[in-house]
Structure 1
């Protein structure tokens, strides 16, 4: 916790709003997406989805995986507590919705479904997109599937799998994903492993969103390595997320933006 507080204070010191952005691409994204104040009707669906989970007092067996297929934690947890502590926040879900709505990606990959809170935002952002969402724990994925069906979110394929194995199996014929949301394993090793394995799926317009880049020192190191990768052109640090673009026409630039 102390590390995250120090990181956040450093973030605030270095961060800017739209007035400190001189890239037309990033300026437009910040002003018309990040700071979009419109009250979208989809926000009500996101809220209903969250409230339904927060009211669910049932317990399920939750299994977490490390990099590779090694199980490192399995315990019983209350669904409402998972939604409260492990799920995306309301503010972040609305921002994720706006990002998808702004870019209108045709193909989306989510790494880490959990209870589907972020998945619902991805789906609502572009109902015409094709979404694949990966989850290692069958029990949480089952809850997510039921919740998504209740909200009639039908553009989603839920896949119960260990992430690294899935990427290795599918890399022979990689699918181009216009947007990837990384929220599956907050370790340096796993983050960089997934990053490298998925580079074959990028297009010039791909958008990657990495969750919890300031979760720990090793996650901050992973973020720095990703920023410096030769294929990466533009990155945006919003503290909670690191957003990556591969646009070859852009000069290499890094931004720290308050949202």
Structure 2
């Protein structure tokens, strides 16, 4: 790992902290109401027991090895192709707060067609499925990770799409059409992140929401995020440091907000 890749997220967090806004600075009824509702939802949900505490406990203690196929930037901590499940969980799984945020975001959409890019061990998939009314399609390039996610939880609501995302995603969208919510949490390179967004963009609608995880994972991920923000169709964007959120609503002035959660 280069020094820059290791240090950059800390420098980015300092910049995020210096620029973040409070709720009183938010102008417009939509963003003000959305942020208030999100904070209230998080407070209520995080006071209760994690609905997937059992699955997290299983993965956090499992010592079996998984052969991982990486198509992108890989892991900062785990370089071997064979990785211990508990270590994958420790270094590559979303913390409960942001899994809960993704669940909340889905609930703000029609939630009929939901896409997750990057299944990993399947923890986020469980949270996303909570608010999905139709079908959740989880895309993953590593067959062994798909197998692990399937073993963790079986549901007719969830369909795992195995294979390189750049190949499987276009065919899926051509067949299924408009998308309500997308979580991009795969590959972690500028090129791939921009490519995934461009593939998805024609299938988004006014009530769609896109979340991009790890926007400060590296300088190139931040560059990808900033390029996406300039997209004409994006009307509102939120920076939560751990992820960025995009809206495509008509009738609101284009704006960007750096917020804490």
2:65 is aligned to 59
Tell me, which stretches of 5 or more residues in structure 1 are unaligned?
Answer: 68-72
Moved more, 233-242 or 96-105: 96-105
State the TM-score, normalizing by the size of structure 1: 0.90
Match of 2:238 in 1: 236
Q: 1:100 to 1:168 in 2, by over 3 A?
A: closer
In structure 1, distance between residues paired with 2:46 and 2:38: 12
Aligned residue for 2:152, secondary structure, equals helix
The alpha-carbon deviation at position 78 of structure 1 amounts to 0.8
> Is 177-186 or 95-104 further displaced after alignment?
95-104
Aligned to 2:99: 93
Which sections of structure 2, spanning at least 5 residues, go unmatched?
Answer: 1-5, 74-78
Write the distance in 2 (CA, Å) between the matches of 1:195 and 1:51: 33
Measured in 2, the distance between the counterparts of 1:244 and 1:34 equals 18
**Structure 2 equivalent of residue 83 of structure 1:** 89
The DSSP-based 3-state class of the residue aligned with 2:57 is helix
After TM superposition, the score normalised by the length of structure 2 is 0.89
Q: Judge conservation of contact 1:87–1:115 (CA < 8 Å) in 2.
A: yes
The Cα offsets for residues 23-42 of structure 1, whole Å up to 9 and x where unpaired, read as 21111121112342113798
Equivalent of 1:44 in 42, 50, 64:
50
Q: Which residue of 2 is the match for residue 202 of structure 1?
A: 204
Given the alignment of the two structures, is residue 141 of structure 1 paired with residue 143 of structure 2, yes or no? Answer: no
Contact 2:102–2:211 (CA<8 Å) still a contact in 1? Answer: no
SS state at 2:138 partner: strand
* Distance across 1 between alignment mates of 2:212 and 2:172: 21
Determine the structure 1 residue equivalent to 2:12. Answer: 7
Counterpart-to-counterpart distance in 1, 2:39 and 2:192:
28
How many residues are paired up? 250
Distance in 2 between residues matched to 1:148 and 1:208, nearest whole Å: 24
Describe the SS at the equivalent of 1:33: helix
Q: Which runs of 4+ in 1 moved over 3 A?
A: 39-43, 101-104, 170-174
SS in 1 for 2:179: coil
The residue correspondences of 1:1-259 to structure 2 (distance < 5 A) are 1-36=6-41, 37-39=43-45, 43-66=49-72, 75-103=81-109, 105-126=111-132, 128-149=133-154, 153-173=155-175, 175-259=177-261
Q: How far is 1:102 from its partner?
A: 4.1
Counterparts of 1:242 and 1:186, CA distance in 2 = 14
CA contact (8 A) 1:171 1:200 kept: no
